[in-house]
Structure 1
């Protein structure tokens, strides 16, 4: 799941009139409410922030359930790797379209409160169907469950960001997005390290392994989605209550999507799209298949393989905010993207052609993955006019999901017919294409005297000079 896209969308949004939050307080005839119950007080806003963070926890926890249980899914459902990877492809397919319309549905159809609840329900229902597919030994039902889960997952991330913008502003917002991103990484990490143990516990309880054990394990994991749904209901209540007390409007995503804007996209923007797709298809499908890779090539135990497969998320949780600050201060976005892509290429080459301890390669991958997200996604805002930002980010997410869906299937086919070495060579080729696009972007930006390598300070100075 794309927690970077979440940041990108969130940073584009504009909440409702923030001045309403600074209006004179209206005396409450019943007396001053406790700090935890007063939306004007920090304690209450921290309570809301905790609900925002847990809102997406279930979605991120369950997204990589297949990766954490790769061996068990293939064995119990009697499927090959190609069919196994369809569980990821079916998640991505609906988001090829929904990336354009998720914000529209929240703004114009459901509203932020009902939209969040509805998308949370899709996540819950999708996970239940996914689990029932295991219980009834119906792999097609598991695929359908992942499709329904995908309908809710990405749109729920948009809703989460809209709530953040509606409740927090200014410098607070960067911290809030960092905390939400860290919680997403924690959800993925807990999944990787818990689901294998949970399967073993259910197996011991039922007395045997099999599709029923798999389904029950997935159903128990779905409890996290129910917790997220409860957070959505609580957020709706608190947001409606704050709207009444503070006389503010319901939050909007601020997205403006016009498909006709695509014809106006510049060469640098298309190169950014290519970098994005070619990079991420070498990360997420690899993590989806990584557990068995570490068991087969390096002889790791199931738990150890899960731990190392999750290290990308473990590193990303604390490093994403740090790298974000670094990129903000120094600028040089293209240079940082170049460093991230080169490091990722080195990581895949170490995994493919050496027997070095894979903790080294995976740690490098975790660092580079975090750095790329912080440096790549903001560049879109530097090369397109403000009125086209919603379309640009929507298109970027759309083709990213399309790439992930297609490459997930291709990766499964390569693994079934050629093995892990050829799969790693395929990922190396994808990262190499991304590297070529970065170099071309640097050349084009230099030739056009572009602003992609400016620091935040330089951008502010240019903005002030234009204002004068």
Structure 2
């Protein structure tokens, strides 16, 4: 009795795909919460532990350095081990890292915890991305990426909201990080549930694993096309701008704009909250119309002035922002609009950028492609927080000198400006003979191609 090949098996059912999306997204929720749990305690670390802004920046960079060390091997591990084993392993690493960050007041121990988080969290993101590409390719791929990012960013928003719903914990820097350790257990539980689901589907459904995993040959493994590298460059620009900004955002709003901790947390949460709603909508839109390179260019252009607006424009009237079940705060209009637009832009780019790789790279190389993409992202991202921290320290940024935060905002703006060039180059490439169909592939065109194949 012959073993059925992947091509002869049916694709997973819609119910299976959406269960996969749910479990992967819950794993990412806990992952994002743990990462962003540092932001709300920055001022407490500076007051109670006497950390400088540059030391805080290095806590963020330690995460990136660890990710740089593990991501190249991480992609190969995912391709060789399989996603179910990789996701569970990396989720457990994140849980241990969260506990290590909270357990001691020594800077070296906290630094080690953030380093270990980078060893687990970024490969976990790569593994989750590979899972979605495998289960949703040719289906609702951009929508699935968008929903996953939305639920992940709910983890980020929840970390910001903890300044309100867990306000008694903020009498010290340590208790909020123990809360994050508890949330990290969600990632482990969801990863185990996904393991069970994939195990039951193996041999019964086509999970896109028909191609053999290529050997680890560094001279060949990362020889991707120009369009892939332009997308990687855009990834570096956007993530190395937005994520470091979020790291310092709550402290920045407190120190430079005079908001209290709860209001600053609510304002900071508007960025991921806007993305929660906008990302799946943009994903659905792109699935239907294509035009991916154009969407990336628009996102680059809109992000360019935002950091200068938050620095130099008048704050405007106070707007009462109410988030059900979380709390309310009066937020200056300018800051409110900037954070909402930045969240919208940040939702547009990943909803287009990450799924596009699945159309450029063959299935057996996706784990490696996403790992390299994330590796480059971490390389650019790693240098930003210490530089911003150094600028804040050098220009004596404080409530008495809010202008000291302006050099850091100019630095973010310079990074955003480079995105315009790379998005233009991608647009030109995809309009030429080397196009991969990023601007033409839609759910409708994919369905028509599959119908034609069946007729033949």
TM-score (norm 2): 0.79
The 10-residue stretch of structure 1 (78-87 or 253-262) with the greater mean CA deviation from structure 2: 253-262
In 2 relative to 1, CA 248–268 (structure 1 residues): closer, same or farther, beyond 3 Å? Answer: closer
Q: CA separation of 1:18/1:121 partners in 2, compared to 1, >3 Å: closer, same or farther?
A: farther
Rounded Cα–Cα distance in structure 1 between residues aligned with 2:233 and 2:133: 29
Q: How does 1:91-130 map to 2 (within 5 A)?
A: 91-109=63-81, 111-130=82-101
1:325 corresponding residue in structure 2: 284
Cα distance in 1, alignment partners of residues 140 and 428 from structure 2: 36
Structure 1 stretch displaced more, 319-328 or 183-192: 319-328
Residue equivalent to 1:336: 295
Name the CA distance, whole Å, in 1 between partners of 2:14 and 2:283: 28
Shift of 1:317: 0.9
Cα gap change, 1:183 to 1:384, in 2 (>3 Å): closer
Deviations 1:326-368 (A, max 9, x none): 2233333332222111111121221122124211111111111
- TM-fit CA distance, 1:87: 1.8
Deviating more after overlay: 309-318 vs 327-336 = 327-336
**Selected match of 2:348 from 354, 362, 371:** 371
Judge conservation of contact 1:65–1:192 (CA < 8 Å) in 2: yes
Rounded to whole Å, the distance in 1 between the matches of 2:235 and 2:126 is: 19
1:63 maps to: 35
Match of 2:247 among 288, 308, 318: 288
| Partner in structure 2 of residue 406 of structure 1 | 383
Match of 1:146 among 109, 114, 127: 114
8 Å Cα contact 2:133/2:355 also seen in 1:
no
What is the Cα deviation at residue 167 of structure 1? 6.5
Conserved 8 A contact 2:60-2:382: yes
Instruction: Map residues 345-356 of structure 1 onto 2, 5 A cutoff.
Output: 345-356=304-315
2:325 maps to which residue? none
State the secondary structure of the residue aligned to 1:89.
helix
Alpha-carbon contact 2:126-2:374 (below 8 Å) kept: no
State the SS of the aligned residue for 2:38.
helix
- CA shift in 2, pair 1:382/1:182, >3 Å: closer
Name which of 166, 176, 184 aligns with 2:152: 184
More displaced, 346-355 or 416-425? 346-355
Structure 1 residue 287: Cα displacement: 0.9
- The aligned counterpart of 2:267 is 308
Alpha-carbon shift at residue 55 of structure 1 (Å): 2.0
TM-superposed deviation, 1:385: 6.7
Structure 1: distance between partners of 2:137 and 2:229: 31
* 1:232-275 superposed Cα distances (whole Å, 9 cap, x missing partner): 334434544555xx756999697756432378445544443333
More moved, 281-290 vs 51-60:
51-60
Structure 1 position 286, deviation (Å):
0.7
Determine if the alignment matches structure 1 residue 236 to structure 2 residue 200: no
Q: Verify the 8 A CA contact 2:430 2:439 in the aligned structure 1.
A: no
Q: Aligned to 2:156, what secondary structure does the other structure show?
A: helix
Q: Give the distance between the partners of 1:251 and 1:131, measured in 2 at CA.
A: 40
Assess if the C-alpha contact under 8 Å between 1:294 and 1:300 holds in 2.
Answer: yes
In structure 1, distance between residues paired with 2:135 and 2:287:
23
TM, length-normalised to structure 1: 0.78
Q: Deviations over 1:169-227 (max 9, x none)?
A: 763665544432221011111111114653x4136xxxxx4xxx322331122111123
Instruction: Output aligned runs, 1:3-22, within 5 Å.
Output: 17=6, 20=9
CA contact (8 A) 1:85 1:409 kept: yes
Compared with structure 1, are the counterparts of its residues 328 and 117 closer, same or farther at alpha carbon in structure 2 (3 Å cutoff)? closer
The two structures, once aligned, show a CA RMSD in angstroms of: 3.6
Within the alignment, does 1:218 sit opposite 2:177 as a pair? yes
The alignment partner of 2:232 has SS state of helix
Query: For the Cα contact (< 8 Å) 1:69–1:195, is it kept in 2?
Result: no
Unaligned runs of 5+ in 2: 316-333, 396-403
Deviations 1:264-314 (A, max 9, x none): 445544443333222322211111111122223322221111111111100
Of residues 425, 433, 438 in structure 1, which corresponds to 2:423? 438
Match of 1:201 among 146, 153, 168: 168
Closer, same or farther: CA 323–149 of 1 in aligned 2, 3 Å:
same
When residues 385 and 463 of structure 1 are mapped into structure 2, their CA distance, relative to the original with a 3 A threshold, is farther
1: CA distance between counterparts of 2:174 and 2:53?
19
Q: Is the 8 A contact 2:40 2:160 kept in 1?
A: yes
